[in-house]
Chains A and B, each alone.
Chain A
Amino acid sequence: MAVTGIILFGFVVGHMLGNLQIYLGQEQLDHYAELLQANKPFLWAFRSVLLFCVSVHIWAAVVIWLRNRSARPVKYKMFQPPGLDYAARTMVWSGPIVALFIVYHILDFTVGTANPDFIKGEVYHNVVASFSNPVIALVYMAACLLLAFHLYHGLWSLFQTFGWDHPRFGWIRRALAIFFSVLIGAGTISIPLAVLTGFVR
């Protein structure tokens, strides 16, 4: 779970940095997209690794979820455990929602069937076409917000899972999780917002 999580986190950061080139203009972004598509074997190898990681991640989540459900067969009438934060409580929801979003997202920008005006290879155009529709833009912003929450808890959790802790510097783990999740949240949400507000057109 944690190993695949790190790889997916790395992808999200890289993907976001790539997408942020939209602010450098159409030519830059389309050129970057062309570059990604240039080496087909590499592209498919990369996609297989991602698909593999997503599958293992989901499989691990299901195994843990089933085990945890059976660990308390009789529920409490009143259960208010202190200390739970929002991101931790919503992992089982933010995960599947982001997964569904990824399917929609691939249909939108890679396959093109969900895109209002898809032109193959014209990534800048496709992004603007999608996000000019306020409903689509809002769906993207909501999904990216959930992704940020998911990564916040995930990032912090993996320090625990790997046992990376220190009596004096342990607090850095929370700080890093906040830093990266805010970065990812702000970076990804900024794109649909920029198109919606007419900043990118």
Chain B
Amino acid sequence: MKLTLEVWRQKNGGDKGGFSTYELEDVDTHMSFLEMLDVLNQDLIVGGAEPIAFEHDCREGICGACGFVVNGVAHGHQKGSTICQLHMRHFSDGDKITIEPWRAKAFPIIKDLVVDRSSFDRILQAGGFVTIRTGSAPDANALPVATDTLEHAMDFAECIGCGACVASCPNGAAMLFVGAKISHLALLPQGMPEKAKRALKMVEAMESEAFGACTNYTSCEAVCPKEISISGIARMNKDFRRASVAGAEPAHGKKR
């Protein structure tokens, strides 16, 4: 299979960057998208050129390291999939493929397709701790959680923090990510004690980063490799609203 790739190349954050075009002669349809780039990079290295920088780790769709925009869609056009799990059989001979990094002010480019997603880390840190017992595994049924509830929480816990939601949002908003993180803990008894505080702190942290604001385009959930629902955003908004009204401090029965 022959392909023409148009790839964003940028030496570093200060560089202006631009597109470079590469012709690939013999792409195996069994390759994953990243393997196709590995092959191209091998050729570039042999030819004395700088290989294309992109992030990856597990290559099985679970770590959240990979991610860039392929033909205008974050992680490519395959639904519910990271780019490492997209295979070349989904492309046809002669295709022209445009590859761009996540574009968001809150995700500055480090090099080529690699962006700095530490804004996500700062939001998570702002969420603070969860008061669970650490150490040996707890007794299986010491804390009963209904199956429905834990499945619901797990749907949000699936978020791998790849940043596709921000990349695909016309507003560059991070609400699906933050909504998933907040909902995942707010649905479980373990997450209850800090629920209000967490909602306030994480939303504040999100707003202090350079993300945009949600206008309910829903393209985040459409590209999310874990197909996380925007109902997480509704829950985040609800928790935030309640915490803003009631305050984040725990209730107390003593006169103060």
State the A residues within 8 Å of B (CB): 64, 67-68, 70-85, 88-89, 91, 153, 156-157, 159-165, 167, 170
- List residues of chain A with CB within 8 A of the CB of B219: 81-84
- List residues of chain A with CB within 8 A of the CB of B208: none
Identity of the chain A residue whose Cβ is nearest the Cβ of B148 in the assembled complex: A167
Chain-A contact segment, one of B36-44, B101-109, B139-147: B101-109
Which 7 pairs show the lowest CB-CB distances between chains A and B? Answer: A163-B238, A83-B222, A71-B172, A71-B212, A80-B72, A81-B219, A165-B234
Partner of A156, one of B106, B152, B216: B216
12 further A-B contacts with Cβ under 8 Å, apart from A68-B171, A74-B103, A83-B217, are A71-B173, A71-B212, A78-B72, A78-B98, A80-B71, A82-B222, A85-B218, A88-B217, A162-B238, A162-B241, A163-B237, A163-B241
Find out whether the CB atom of B223 lies under 8 angstroms from the CB atom of A72: no
Give residues 198-237 of B contacting A (CB, 8 Å).
Answer: 210-223, 230-231, 233-237
Known A77-B100, A81-B72, A81-B222: A170·B231 in contact at CB below 8 Å: yes
Identity of the chain A residue whose Cβ is nearest the Cβ of B210 in the assembled complex: A71
A78 → chain B, closest Cβ, in Å? 4
- List residues of chain B with CB within 8 A of the CB of A71: 104-106, 171-173, 210-212
Find out whether the CB atom of B98 lies under 8 angstroms from the CB atom of A165: no
Docked Cα-Cα span, A163 to B236, in Å, equals 7
A/B interface sample: 11 pairs, CB < 8 A: A64-B215, A67-B212, A68-B171, A72-B171, A72-B172, A77-B6, A82-B73, A83-B220, A88-B217, A159-B234, A163-B241
| B191 close to A (CB within 8 Å) | no
Known A81-B223, A163-B234, A165-B231: A72·B72 in contact at CB below 8 Å: no
Identity of the chain B residue whose Cβ is nearest the Cβ of A61 in the assembled complex: B215
State the B residues within 8 Å of A (CB): 6, 19, 69, 71-74, 98, 100, 103-106, 152, 168-173, 210-223, 230-231, 233-239, 241
Partner of B69, one of A68, A76, A162, A163: A76
Docked Cα-Cα span, A178 to B41, in Å, equals 50
- List residues of chain B with CB within 8 A of the CB of A79: 69, 72, 170
Find out whether the CB atom of B222 lies under 8 angstroms from the CB atom of A163: no
- List residues of chain A with CB within 8 A of the CB of B106: 71
Q: Give the number of residue pairs across the A-B interface with Cβ within 8 Å.
A: 118
Partner of B223, one of A64, A82, A170: A82
Docked Cα-Cα span, A140 to B198, in Å, equals 48
Find out whether the CB atom of B215 lies under 8 angstroms from the CB atom of A68: yes
Docked Cα-Cα span, A161 to B234, in Å, equals 6
Docked Cα-Cα span, A162 to B241, in Å, equals 8
Find out whether the CB atom of A84 lies under 8 angstroms from the CB atom of B170: yes
Identity of the chain A residue whose Cβ is nearest the Cβ of B8 in the assembled complex: A77
- List residues of chain A with CB within 8 A of the CB of B223: 81-83
Identity of the chain A residue whose Cβ is nearest the Cβ of B74 in the assembled complex: A81
- List residues of chain A with CB within 8 A of the CB of B172: 68, 71-72
- List residues of chain B with CB within 8 A of the CB of A64: 171, 213, 215
A84 → chain B, closest Cβ, in Å? 5
Docked Cα-Cα span, A76 to B103, in Å, equals 7
Known A68-B173, A72-B172, A77-B19: A160·B234 in contact at CB below 8 Å: yes
- List residues of chain B with CB within 8 A of the CB of A167: 152, 231
Partner of A76, one of B100, B215, B221: B100
